[in-house]
Amino acid sequence: MFKPNFRYTNKIVNNLIKISTAREVILNSPFIPKWEVALRREAIVRKAHSSTAIEGNRLSLDQVSDLAHGREVIASRKDKQEVLNYLSVLENLGKLIDDKKIAEQNILSIHKMLTEQTLEDSSDCGRYRNRYVVIGNRLTREIIFRPPANKDVPDLMKALVEWLNSDEAKELDSVIEAGIAHYEFVRIHPFIDGNGRTARVLATLILYMRGFDAKQFFCLDDYYDSNRQAYYRALQSVDQKTLDLTRWLEYFAGGVNISIDTVKERVIRLSSERLRKTKRGQIALTERQMRIIEFINQNGRIRNKDISEMFDISDRAALKEIRKLVDLRVVETEGKGRSLSYILLIA
């Protein structure tokens, strides 16, 4: 089985403490569902922009946002498809695994979703590489890293996946586990293309599975994209003879700390006004209810028919779902009869 080599330094421990403190502030802040939806949506858009930009995608953040909202943008077909693929993966993150375990097939499926209609050879989507690749500087043509041989990829990936599902991995802080998985995946470089995007999704998925970012508020990809050279230097800091991940994990934990602190400061600002108006605290919503709120946030209102179609349920069941949100004073009615719809209740 894969066995990571690293040591805890003061830098790593201090960052983990700060991360834990900030996370508690975020999870216990009393903000309304509309803000939850907005924070989640914004994080997904920023992740899609930053992660694809690192690998050369030319779409701006505004263009990515437009694509996320179904609007057309003027850009190359490949750039648009890469972003749409990434958005689809992030929006369906919880559906990408089975029984809270990561299988090799899950990783292959994620890669296929990320690269569909973007690779020269479509058969490379969701399949381990059968041709050797090297990582180099496109300008100087200098070879930066030589990954393992093609024949070693299946065994290395199997070992990584076994470790991810092991008790040893689960005993680690989720940030450390995600950081280790990110690096080892990049080191193996199992695919012809799209390895960086897949590695970053894998790290995001681990944090999501472990309950660290269950609401998908954090955008670590922004940290990588803000200083790409630092990101690449951190990856290259690992000695290939010892595979000591300490310096990489210092960088990774530092990035999580910066990213989560940004969210914490925003949540504090949003929550302070809510606290001045009510002492109700957070409103716990089901996944269906969150999807209803997201629909309203994007469209301004929702009708009973929209809910029925969204979940493929009867009109009666749809009415039951929306009445729960009315009772929680999250939404209110607008109009009457056939014009009846539901809008967010501004508290």
Chain mean position to CA 34 = 20
Query: Any idea of the CA torsion for 337, 339, 341, 346, to the nearest 10 degrees?
Result: -110
Structurally, at CATH architecture level, domain 287-344 sits in Orthogonal Bundle (1.10)
Q: Which CATH class is domain 10-269?
A: mainly alpha
Give the pLDDT confidence of 220-249 residue by residue, as tens digits.
899 999 898 899 899 999 999 999 999 999
Domain boundaries, the chain: 10-269, 287-344
**Per-residue pLDDT at 268:** 73
Q: How far apart are CA 210 and CA 38, in angstroms?
A: 22
Alpha carbon 217 to chain centroid distance? 8
Averaged over 10-36, what is the pLDDT? 84
Q: What is the rounded CA–CA span in Å between residue 114 and residue 119? A: 10
- Whether residue 111 contacts residue 126, with contact meaning beta carbons closer than 8 Å, is answered with yes
Whole-structure pTM value: 0.80
Q: What is the pLDDT of residue 276?
A: 44
Which pLDDT tens digit goes with each residue over 166-203?
Answer: 999 999 999 999 999 999 999 999 999 999 999 999 99
pLDDT at 290 over 50: yes
Spatial CA neighbour of 251 closest among 303, 343, 183: 183
CA distance 208 to 216: 7
For the cut 80, the answer to whether the pLDDT of residue 151 exceeds it is yes
Query: Is it true that 10-269 and 287-344 share their CATH fold?
Result: no
The alpha carbons of the chain give a radius of gyration, in whole angstroms, of 22
Residue pair 79/57 in contact (Cβ under 8 Å)? The answer is: yes
Q: Which two tokens stand for residue 346?
A: 């501004």
CA-to-CA dists, residue 151 to 128, 130, 163, 268, angstroms:
10, 8, 20, 51
Query: Using an 8 Å Cβ cutoff, are 49 and 59 in contact?
Result: yes
pLDDT value of residue 309 = 92
Contact 83, 312 (CB under 8 A): no
